[in-house]
Structure 1
Amino acid sequence: MRSFGARAEIAKQLFAAASGVLAGENPVRRLRKALRLLSVPPDTGRGADKDVLDAGFRALRLPSLAEATGPVCLFVAYAPDGRFFAHTLRYCADLKRNGLRLVLIAVTDRPDLDCLDPGPEVADALVVRENHGYDFAAWAACLRYMPELWAAPELWFANDSVYHAAAPLAEMVERVRRSPADVVAMTGSSEIAPHFQSYLFVLKDGALRREGVRRFWGGVRSLADKNQVIRDYEVRQKATLEAEGLKVEILFSAPGGDGDNRLHHGWRALLAAGFPFVKVQLLRDNPYGADLAGWRDALAAHEFDIPEITFHLGARPDGAAALLELR
């Protein structure tokens, strides 16, 4: 059974949608939020925490990475039924085109841990993991399963929570390579404590050799509580790195608020500064009420693939595709 808090939030969204209809407003955002909450299985609670390798893990294609001479990217993508969206595959392929070897980690709801292999043009290796513990657990499981990854000159950690544009992405990769820092991230946040956000960050050779960094990743568990993942891993990682004497560089300042909403209210300024991403959550849910007027033209001007984005936004795992008519 869902917790009282989860049920209250669903009821709140439905009530707000009904009130919006009476006021002549479009209820689609509230309805989508309620349906998405309903589509999530009831919280299994703290007792579901487990070791990262105790969750289901299957290597579908795993050529040796022991002799890798270039940077390696661990890319987590949600594939509930074992299939990937086009924008995710293009993001992976563009990272490969920019010189990264890519390990695609499919997080799935399928009990058989099966997945359609997109091929070597998209990923050098493909592993599938049970949908448990969020990105840090998936990354940590790969590092535990493939310890040879620690020998790479750089490890990139990425996920599918953003849409990207190819040309700015290539420029960003070059900025990372030119950076003298031991750790490079895209944007920071001051929520809870100063840290960098985990949709894309890079550990270079100086960081990968530190025992404190390896202990941090060796201590990651597969946690059921997303907020605890943020507190224990996303927030604590920066302090761990700095305690090791490592230099951390954040490439893009993000105007327009504090914490995660910097990527929402400040999205236009970030694009103007060469930022290659826009958050999926911004366009799908707009939780902070950011100004999205003319977003298609704004993104097209920076060479984002608008048909891919709009198709993904309409592919609702909660079965609410008909709500597209309410746009």
Structure 2
Amino acid sequence: MSHSVCLFAYHDPAGTLAPHTRHLLNQIADCGFEIHVAVSSLSPQDHQGLENLKRSFTSGPTPVKAKLYPRENAGLDFGSWQELLKQHCDEGADEILFANDSVFGPMAPLSPIVTRMRAEQHPIWGMVRSEAINRHLQSWFLVMSRQAFEHPAIQRVFRQPFCEMSKPEIVLHGELGLGLAMQAAEMDMAASWSGTRGIARLLAINPMHTDWRAVLRSGKAPFIKTELLRDNPSGIPSVHLWRQEIPDPAFFNPDWIAQYLANHPPRAQYKKAGFRARLVQAIASEDRLHALPALLLGR
């Protein structure tokens, strides 16, 4: 019998489980994954905080069945996954999902997507493939078979000292490093959603920002990045219209996003992108027939 585990990186200084993350975890569980959560917003010595968070996971009409592992806040998602691997959370699993709490969604049932990708029997697959810098699978939802995970090229990536790295270094050596490792191992970079425009590689755009409406409307990756709606660092037009893009408010409650945004104001380190940068993003977008007019008309 196959055994699937999800290694989930979670950080919320409030010490509670946000409703949109509860929804994501339950959707992952519905796909047959045993869930292990690295909680980097809690000190391992904060026993009361851990008990409160456990109650948050198990309370309400949709409790989440998961094992929680508090850890120091270092290394971002790759550091969290390293901790869970150190705790042998992947033991006996022949399918490992690496995921984190950096997205809103899924906004349509996750199970049909996972079932379809499992049927294609890829050694590694992701929800979204990106051409930025080098071709890679975005790490916020990434599935590996046991054989693929144990490949020496993949193992070298996960053995790096992520907890000593800055965020740009983690992206470079982690997410982008996995893309290079997959190329070295001659593994196909299968994804539920991938773009069609070669210009995306040339301009190193993030499809979850530039192509957010196209990705969401495709039904192949029904997610929106939290960073896009909170910070919109690339100045993507029409992001403020996110509510009307949610396909089924009965399945994914838009108030979950509104609640998150009310409690998490934009981060100060992001400067508003200039018009030229926003124009480039619009031209590169899969959804450019909408993005260009929206930019030019200031919508």
TM range (shorter): 0.7 to 0.9
Partner of 2:213: 268
- After the TM superposition, which residues 200-279 of structure 1 pair with which residues of structure 2 at under 5 Å, given as runs? 200-254=141-195, 257=200, 258-274=203-219, 275-279=221-225
Residue 119 in structure 1 maps to residue 58 in structure 2? yes
SS at match of 1:149: coil
Contact 2:230 2:264 in 1 (8 A): no
Partner of 1:289: 235
Unaligned runs of 5+ in 1: 1-67, 321-327
Distance 2:224 2:40 in 1: 22
Distance 1:262 1:304 in 2: 22
| Aligned-residue offset at 1:102 | 0.6
Residues 187-239 of structure 1 deviation map (CA, whole Å, 9 limit, x = unaligned) = 22233322221111111133034243334323343134100111111111122
Contact 2:6 2:34 in 1 (8 A): yes
Residue 299 in structure 1 maps to residue 250 in structure 2? no
Residues 20-66 of structure 1 deviation map (CA, whole Å, 9 limit, x = unaligned) = xxxxxxxxxxxxxxxxxxxxxxxxxxxxxxxxxxxxxxxxxxxxxxx
| Aligned-residue offset at 1:270 | 1.2
Residues 122-178 of structure 1 deviation map (CA, whole Å, 9 limit, x = unaligned) = 1331111111111101101211221x6153111000011101135342222112212
SS at match of 1:89: helix
SS at match of 2:117: helix
Partner of 2:75: 133
Q: Give the TM-score of the pair, scaled to structure 2.
A: 0.75
Distance 1:316 1:305 in 2: 18
Which has the larger displacement, 303-312 or 108-117? Answer: 108-117
- After the TM superposition, which residues 11-26 of structure 1 pair with which residues of structure 2 at under 5 Å, given as runs? none
Indicate how the Cα distance of structure 1 residues 259 and 72 shifts in structure 2: closer, same or farther if over 3 A, else same: farther
Partner of 1:105: 38
- After the TM superposition, which residues 24-173 of structure 1 pair with which residues of structure 2 at under 5 Å, given as runs? 69-108=2-41, 110=43, 112-113=45-46, 114-115=49-50, 116-117=53-54, 118-119=57-58, 121-146=63-88, 149-165=90-106, 167-173=108-114
Distance 2:164 2:195 in 1: 29
Residues 58-111 of structure 1 deviation map (CA, whole Å, 9 limit, x = unaligned) = xxxxxxxxxx94210011111224222111112111111221111111111557
Residues 266-306 of structure 1 deviation map (CA, whole Å, 9 limit, x = unaligned) = 11111221122111111111222222253212114474320
Distance 1:177 1:167 in 2: 18
Indicate how the Cα distance of structure 1 residues 138 and 293 shifts in structure 2: closer, same or farther if over 3 A, else same: closer
| RMSD between superposed Cα atoms in Å | 2.7
| Aligned-residue offset at 1:179 | 2.3
SS at match of 2:39: strand
2:258 maps to a residue whose letter is: T
Partner of 1:37: none
Q: Give the TM-score of the pair, scaled to structure 1.
A: 0.69
SS at match of 2:173: helix
Unaligned runs of 5+ in 2: 269-299
What is the count of residue pairs matched by the alignment?
252
Distance 1:191 1:228 in 2: 15
1:296 maps to a residue whose letter is: R
Contact 1:72 1:156 in 2 (8 A): yes
Which has the larger displacement, 254-263 or 239-248? Answer: 254-263
Indicate how the Cα distance of structure 1 residues 288 and 219 shifts in structure 2: closer, same or farther if over 3 A, else same: closer
Distance 2:101 2:205 in 1: 16
1:277 maps to a residue whose letter is: F
Kindly name which structure, 1 or 2, has the bigger radius of gyration based on alpha carbons: 1
Contact 1:165 1:304 in 2 (8 A): yes
Distance 1:83 1:151 in 2: 30
Distance 1:134 1:206 in 2: 25
Indicate how the Cα distance of structure 1 residues 220 and 110 shifts in structure 2: closer, same or farther if over 3 A, else same: closer
Which has the larger displacement, 70-79 or 106-115? Answer: 106-115
